[in-house]
Amino acid sequence: MVTIADVARAAGVSISTVSYVMSGKRTISQETRDRVAEAIADLEYSPHASARSLASRSTNVIGLQAPLRAGVDVHVVMQIVAGIVTEARSLQYDILLLTSDDASGLSHAARASMVDALLVMDVESDDPRIKTLEGLDVPSVLIGLPAGADGLVCVDFDFEAAGRLAAHRLAELGHRRVALFGAPAEVLERHTSYADRLVRGFLSACDELALVGSVHACPTGAESTQVVDAVLAAEPSLSGILIHNEGALPHIAAHLASSAHELGVIALCPAEIAQTVSGLADSIAIPAEGIGAAAADALRGLLAGEQREKVVLLPPVLASAGA
């Protein structure tokens, strides 16, 4: 392997000069800088990451805990990760995908100095990882907005506002009886932060608007249409619905299109998903990639020691459906 000593020798300078050329932390004569740069290029030198982080006490790596389990909307997760990765690359950070998804995985990564910061996805309303994170000496950002994370930076889409927005829009379209078809039961039962907040926003707005609103867990896939049919059977005057479930959306949309019911449908999902479905009244886009980018940027801010707001919520925007 090529070491900094090889580069120094090739360039006819000392080791520290090579180091300073790379870091820019010292003024170096143009001539020397060129010779070093040339040697680096010639030898295809890349500094040994571990040696560097041992000496500098920083890794340029962000630890990421991402949900790979079932029930989550995979497009959303992938896009958030893509956003994180893209932003991280521009900041010269790499992403360590933690292979353990509990609190101990986080503290291990931190104590072993594997990461400069931690990014935690799929946060539950009352998440045990929160107190662990608060006790660590590496900065962290949550994607989600759990209860009692006062000390931590949280970034997410504003699902509560999205729920309210959807209810308002349904009311505006003249619907009086409305329903939210949401995440699969396992996600709701875990009290995943975003699902809880969406429900809260939707129902509270229904209350204020004197709408009759209900919430239904919704399985992924064709089964979802049975849930919809059951709800419609029980409440025939239901006329407007909000769907927050990627996997169910196309099935429900197709089902309603070929059925007698005239339902106003709002979809809450990434814009690209909404585009692939026809028959929607409106949609509210989940800016998934933006969430990831915002989270990575918040982390950059923390790492740079900036003073930041603790909570960043991306606002929902109503879009008329393409069809």
Q: Return residues touching a second copy (CB under 8 A).
A: 1-2, 44-51, 53-54, 59, 61, 64, 68-70, 74-75, 77-78, 81-82, 85-86, 88-89, 93-100, 107-108, 111-114, 220-223, 247, 250-251, 254-255, 258, 272-273, 275-278
Q: Which of 38, 42, 56, 276 binds DNA (CB under 7 A)?
A: 56
Instruction: Give the interface segment with DNA, choosing from 47-55, 83-91, 266-274, 287-295 (CB under 7 A).
Output: 47-55
Nearer to DNA, 25 or 307 (CB): 25
Q: Is 147 in the site for DNA (CB under 7 A)?
A: no
Q: How far apart are CA 152 and CA 133, in angstroms?
A: 8
Q: What angle do CA 229, 235, 241 make, to 5 degrees?
A: 70
Q: Is 15 in the site for DNA (CB under 7 A)?
A: yes
Q: How many CB atoms lie within 10 A of CB 167?
A: 27
Task: Give first-to-last CA distance, the chain, whole Å.
Answer: 57
Nearer to DNA, 25 or 174 (CB): 25
* Count of residues in the chain: 323
Q: Is 3 in the site for DNA (CB under 7 A)?
A: yes
Instruction: Give the interface segment with DNA, choosing from 16-24, 87-95, 220-228, 311-319 (CB under 7 A).
Output: 16-24
Q: Is 222 in the site for DNA (CB under 7 A)?
A: no
Q: How far apart are CA 120 and CA 247, in angstroms?
A: 24
List, in order, residues 6 or more apart from 209 with CB less than 8 Å away: 167, 168, 171
CB distance 194 to 144 below 8 Å: yes
Query: From the CB of 237, what's the least distance to a second copy, in Å?
Result: 26
Residue 229 identity: D
Q: How far apart are CA 64 and CA 163, in angstroms?
A: 28
| Residue 310 touches which member of a second copy, DNA, none, C-beta under 5-8 Å by kind | none
| Residue 20 touches which member of DNA, a second copy, none, C-beta under 5-8 Å by kind | DNA
For residues 86, 87, 88 and 91, what is the CA-based torsion angle, rounded to 10 degrees? 120
Instruction: Give the interface segment with DNA, choosing from 23-31, 98-106, 176-184, 274-282 (CB under 7 A).
Output: 23-31
| Residue 254 touches which member of a second copy, DNA, none, C-beta under 5-8 Å by kind | a second copy
| Residue 220 touches which member of a second copy, DNA, none, C-beta under 5-8 Å by kind | a second copy
Q: How many CB atoms lie within 10 A of CB 40?
A: 21
List, in order, residues 6 or more apart from 112 with CB less than 8 Å away: none
Angle between helices 193-208 and 159-172 (to 10 degrees): 30
Q: Is 92 in the site for DNA (CB under 7 A)?
A: no
CB distance 98 to 120 below 8 Å: no
| Residue 320 touches which member of DNA, a second copy, none, C-beta under 5-8 Å by kind | none
Query: From the CB of 115, what's the least distance to DNA, in Å?
Result: 15
DSSP symbol at 247: T
Nearer to a second copy, 171 or 285 (CB): 285
| Residue 108 touches which member of DNA, a second copy, none, C-beta under 5-8 Å by kind | a second copy
Q: Which residue has the tokens 């630890």?
A: 63
SS3 1: coil
Instruction: Give the interface segment with DNA, choosing from 13-21, 59-67, 84-92, 165-173 (CB under 7 A).
Output: 13-21
Q: How far apart are CA 203 and CA 119, in angstroms?
A: 30
Query: From the CB of 145, what's the least distance to a second copy, in Å?
Result: 24
Nearest one of 131, 192, 121, 106 to 155, comparing CA atoms? 121
- Where do contacts with DNA occur on this chain (CB under 7 A)? 1, 3-5, 12-17, 19-20, 22-23, 25-29, 31-33, 45, 47-48, 51-52, 54-57
